[in-house]
Structure 1
Amino acid sequence: MGKFIGAGLAMGIGAIGAGIGEGRIGASAMEAMARQPEMIGTLTTRMILADAIAETTGIYSLVIAFMILLVV
């Protein structure tokens, strides 16, 4: 029973962090696009790259949750 709670907490906390990070990245990118519309292409590319980096936290927490469930 404890490993299910541990896996759920690991995934939940990791997902919260990734969600907050991606939200801030998106908000900052939209603000920058509103200020400089001529840079939309460059900003979009950088936003997608930054989102991918922020999402790795969620992916790592998913892997750890599976390891808790299957190994421990």
Structure 2
Amino acid sequence: MSLLADPSVILAAENAISGNIATVGYGLAVLGPGIGLGILIGKTVEGMARQPEVAGQLRTTMFIGVAFVEVLGLLGLITGFLFT
């Protein structure tokens, strides 16, 4: 009896994991911006606590940095859709 005619082999092939590696890639692409945002916002809050008089300048700079970091996450999402 050949392996192709064996019903257990056919059933195992049907239940195999299928999908695209791009979904895993997007999951990994989110890690970098997530860690970056945590560090960026944490350090900004720390700076505001140390010098409250420059809170406005720190907040403005933080939002510009957040925009750049978010672009990385969006690029990961777009790349995931382009290569699927």
* Structure 1 residue 11 corresponds to structure 2 residue 26: yes
Unaligned 5+ residue runs, structure 1?
A: none
Q: Over aligned residues, Cα RMSD in angstroms?
A: 1.0
Unaligned 5+ residue runs, structure 2?
A: 1-17
Letter in 1 for 2:24: L
- The partner residue of 1:59 within 49, 71, 74 is 74
Cα distance between partner residues in 2 of 1:33 and 1:24: 14
Q: Determine the structure 2 residue equivalent to 1:30.
A: 45
Q: Give the structure, 1 or 2, with the largest relative contact order (CA under 8 Å, sep 6 or more).
A: 1
What is the TM-score when the length of structure 2 is the normalising length? Answer: 0.75
Greater CA radius of gyration, 1 or 2? 2
Cα distance between partner residues in 2 of 1:57 and 1:12: 13
Q: Which runs of 4+ in 1 moved over 3 A?
A: none
What is the TM-score when the length of structure 1 is the normalising length? Answer: 0.86
Cα distance between partner residues in 2 of 1:57 and 1:10: 13
State the identity as a percent: 36
